[in-house]
Amino acid sequence: MKHVFAKGAILAGVAAMGLSVAACDSKKENAAEDQAQAVRESGDARADSMEATGEAMGGAAESTLDAKADAVRDAADKKADRMEDNADKMDKSPQ
* Number of domains making up the chain: 1
Whole-model pTM: value is: 0.69
Residue 36 vs residues 59, 63, 78, 89: alpha-carbon distances, Å = 34, 28, 10, 14
Residues in the chain: 95
Residue 64 within any structural domain of the chain:
yes
Q: Which residues contact 69 (CB under 8 A, 6 or more apart)?
A: 46, 47, 48, 50, 51, 54
Q: Which domain holds residue 55?
A: 26-90
Residue 13 within any structural domain of the chain:
no
Dump pLDDT digits (tens) for 20-62.
Answer: 444 577 899 999 999 999 999 999 999 999 999 999 999 999 9
Cβ-contact 74, 44 below 8 angstroms: no
Residue 56 within any structural domain of the chain:
yes
Q: Which residues contact 50 (CB under 8 A, 6 or more apart)?
A: 65, 66, 68, 69, 72
Residue 32 within any structural domain of the chain:
yes
Residue 21 within any structural domain of the chain:
no
Q: Provide, rounded to the nearest whole percent, the portion of the chain with pLDDT above 70.
A: 71
